[in-house]
């Protein structure tokens, strides 16, 4: 009992029972934050970035009035590692999450991939915990895929969790009943993308007089590909040929032609427009930082002859690959206090940058953040020669074999562990990565190869091992 009262007196003396005291006095001057994360949305899956098929008028309008990131990258070619990076500002290798959770570990391949963490560790401080600590109401809806019940959103700084579980796709598809323990079923036929948007709007409306951080993580446009019945008629008159071309052991889709997928993109766009309009009607738009992004490139390449959802052309390959099609993503930010002349940025940026970027954009001092790998790219760091790396030492169903990649300025290097092949591309002249220029620039390739190995090792990365039981 004496020990209890001693601690109580210490708390009262230090004021530590008010964790927000240092910041709460300035909360009225800070911005709300809304993040919209789409699953598997490719770089050219939106109209403003060049899609000739998918209709995205609301995103196109947002892009015309906000800042478009023309060189935005995912932290990884697949989802769970990228989501971990968004949450923590740290690269996936440092976090020990280098594959989707729980990953694929085939035993019939020449290499055995390293073990990964199957959850985001609770000791990692998340973006939600940062905002919650300074007085924001925090909300999560949609895909989590960073661990099970004990590591879900409600244990990682989010006050509310709607639909966030360990699975990487909707358990029963996109129409109610959802069979999701964190999402009550709506009426039969309700579309999941619509429902998650309504839940987010409801949270914002309830907290419109407070500061809030809302993270809307759509399950769409991940498989299963199930058309939005409301949006599918917009594409009924179209017929586009199904043309593929080889990519290592897999095939890639040449043209965007999946009309059911197109309707899913349109449903997502329609709901983003509805969310923005709701913020405007509530008088919150000009006091809200709004970020739109994807977790990795579009699913454009598969090792088997399945129906491929989309095409990332002119970029090479897609989800699962460290070629540009697998890691280049659409990204837009609306900042109420942003100079209108900033219509786009060509500075290469990645998911690790989102936490410090959003923290700063909301009006908080970046120096108050813990050490992390990301930067606020609008805070004076140009980063044109910054080293960006992708560590994927596992096999993937897209045909990717264990390897890693590094970008520095105009140069991009890829190393495949199984074959030992090293490729070098000049992204300025060859964004489609069609010409390997390693033989023309051996010194650049050698230096980047050394940097790539050093980055993986310094971040406690693991490499695959030879499979002793592999028989050719």
Q: Which residue ranges make up each domain of the chain?
A: 30-384
Q: What is the end-to-end Cα distance of the chain in Å, rounded?
A: 69
18 confidence band (pLDDT: 50, 70, 90): very low
Specify the higher pLDDT residue, 395 or 306: 395
Alpha carbon 324 to its chain centroid, in Å, reads 15
What's the pLDDT at 313?
Answer: 96
12 confidence band (pLDDT: 50, 70, 90): very low
Could you give the CA distance from residue 232 to residue 238 in angstroms, rounded to a whole number? 11
What tens digit of pLDDT does each residue of 190-224 get?
999 999 999 999 999 999 999 999 999 999 999 99
What tens digit of pLDDT does each residue of 131-178 get?
999 999 999 999 999 999 999 999 999 999 999 999 999 999 999 999
What's the pLDDT at 26?
Answer: 76
What's the pLDDT at 432?
Answer: 97
What's the pLDDT at 383?
Answer: 56
What's the pLDDT at 382?
Answer: 56
Average confidence (pLDDT) over 353-382:
90
Question: Pairing mode, if any, of strands 72-73 and 349-350?
Answer: parallel
Average confidence (pLDDT) over 411-431:
98
pLDDT reading at 95 higher than 80:
yes
Q: Is the domain 30-384 a CATH 3.40.720.10 member?
A: yes
What tens digit of pLDDT does each residue of 217-234 get?
999 999 999 999 999 999
Please spell the DSSP secondary structure of 91-146, one letter per residue: -HHHHT--SSSS----SSSSEEPPP--SS--TTSPPHHHHHHHTT-EEEEEE---S
- Gyration radius of the chain's alpha carbons: 22
pLDDT over 90 percentage in the chain:
87
Give the three-class secondary structure for 425. strand
What's the pLDDT at 458?
Answer: 96
Buried b or exposed e, range 83-105, using 16+ CB within 10 angstroms:
bbbbbbbbbbbbbbbbbbbebee
pLDDT reading at 247 higher than 50:
yes
What tens digit of pLDDT does each residue of 68-89 get?
999 999 999 999 999 999 999 9
What's the pLDDT at 29?
Answer: 87
Instruction: Give the tokens for residue 270.
Output: 């329609």
What tens digit of pLDDT does each residue of 49-68 get?
999 999 999 999 999 999 99
Q: What is the pTM of this model?
A: 0.93
Could you tell me the maximum CA-CA distance found in the chain, to the nearest angstrom?
78
What's the pLDDT at 340?
Answer: 61
What's the pLDDT at 306?
Answer: 78
């Amino acid at each position: 009992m004496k020990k209890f009262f001693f601690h109580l007196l210490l708390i009262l003396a230090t004021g530590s029972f008010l964790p927000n005291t240092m910041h709460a006095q300035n909360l009225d001057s800070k911005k709300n934050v809304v993040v919209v994360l789409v699953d598997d949305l490719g770089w050219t899956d939106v109209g403003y970035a060049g899609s000739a098929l998918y209709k995205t008028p609301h995103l196109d309008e947002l892009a015309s009035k906000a800042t478009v990131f023309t060189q935005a990258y995912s932290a990884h070619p697949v989802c769970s590692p990228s989501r971990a990076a968004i949450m923590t500002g740290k690269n996936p290798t440092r976090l020990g999450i280098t594959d989707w959770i729980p990953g694929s570990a085939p035993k019939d391949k020449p290499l055995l991939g390293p073990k990964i963490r199957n959850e985001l560790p609770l000791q990692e401080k998340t973006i939600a915990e940062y905002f919650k600590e300074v007085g924001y109401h925090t909300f999560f809806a949609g895909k989590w895929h960073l661990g099970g019940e004990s590591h879900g959103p409600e244990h990682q700084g989010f006050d509310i969790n709607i639909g966030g579980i360990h699975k990487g796709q909707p358990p029963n598809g996109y129409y109610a009943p959802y069979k999701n323990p964190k999402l009550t079923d709506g009426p039969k036929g309700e579309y999941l993308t619509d429902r998650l948007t309504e839940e987010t709007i409801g949270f914002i409306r309830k907290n419109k007089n407070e500061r809030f951080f809302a993270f809307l993580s759509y399950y769409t446009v991940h498989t299963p590909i199930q058309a939005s019945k409301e949006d599918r008629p917009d594409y009924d008159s179209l017929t586009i040929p199904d043309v593929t071309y080889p990519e290592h052991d897999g095939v890639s889709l040449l043209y965007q032609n999946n009309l059911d997928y197109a309707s899913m993109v349109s449903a997502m766009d329609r709901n983003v427009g509805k969310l923005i309009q709701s913020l405007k009607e509530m008088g919150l738009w000009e006091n809200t930082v709004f970020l739109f992004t994807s977790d990795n490139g579009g699913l454009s390449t598969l090792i088997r002859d399945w129906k491929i959802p989309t095409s990332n052309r002119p970029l090479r390959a897609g989800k699962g690959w460290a070629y540009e099609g697998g890691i280049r993503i659409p990204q837009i930010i609306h900042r109420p206090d942003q100079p209108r002349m900033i219509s786009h940025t060509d500075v290469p940026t990645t998911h690790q940058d989102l936490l410090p970027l959003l923290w700063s954009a909301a009006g908080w001092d970046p120096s108050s953040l813990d050490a992390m790998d990301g930067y606020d790219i609008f805070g004076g760091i140009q980063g044109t020669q910054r080293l960006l790396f992708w560590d994927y030492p596992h096999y993937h169903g897209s045909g990717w074999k264990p390897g890693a990649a590094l970008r520095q300025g105009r140069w991009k290097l890829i190393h495949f562990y199984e074959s030992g092949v090293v490729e070098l591309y000049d992204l300025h002249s060859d964004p489609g990565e069609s010409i390997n220029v390693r033989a023309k620039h051996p010194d650049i390739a050698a230096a980047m190869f050394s940097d790539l190995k050093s980055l993986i090792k310094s971040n406690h990365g693991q490499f695959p091992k030879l499979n002793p039981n592999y028989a050719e």
